Amino acid sequence: MSERGKRKSRIGIVVSDKSDKTRLVSIERTYRHSLYGRVLRSKNKFAVHDEKNESRLGDKVEIMESRPMSKMKRWVLVKVINKVAEI
């Protein structure tokens, strides 16, 4: 990774696993409003490439920036941090 430069890395929750080798991951961040000081939350959804289909709905995952894989996919799955219990 050092020879390729710094790549952004994020931790989020899988919100959709309906597509083959693609997951939708929601990332929530909190920040303080610059003028009013109120703590705000914002959510972003990223299309993530999951080559082995190892993540499931509700899993906590780490993702990393990559080259564009399709129109929407610019992130790849690094690892699954927490698995959701199967029923």
Q: What domains, with CATH codes, occur in the chain?
A: 2-82 (2.40.50.140)
Q: Say if residues 49 and 73 touch (Cβ distance below 8 Å).
A: yes
> How high does pLDDT run on average in the chain?
93
Cβ 50 vs Cβ 60: under 8 Å = no
**pLDDT band, very low/low/confident/very high, at 3 (cuts 50, 70, 90):** low
Reported as a single tens digit per residue, the pLDDT across 26-67 is: 999 999 999 999 999 999 999 999 999 999 999 999 999 999
What confidence score (pLDDT) does residue 85 get? 80
What is the average pLDDT across 67-79? Answer: 96
Residue whose C-alpha is closest to residue 21's, from 77, 79, 81: 77
Residue 12's φ and ψ, nearest 5 degrees, are -155, -175
- The count of C-alpha atoms lying within 13 angstroms of the C-alpha of 58, restricted to the half-sphere facing its C-beta, is 5
Residue 5: predicted pLDDT: 73
Phi first, then psi, for residue 60 (nearest 5°) are -95, 125
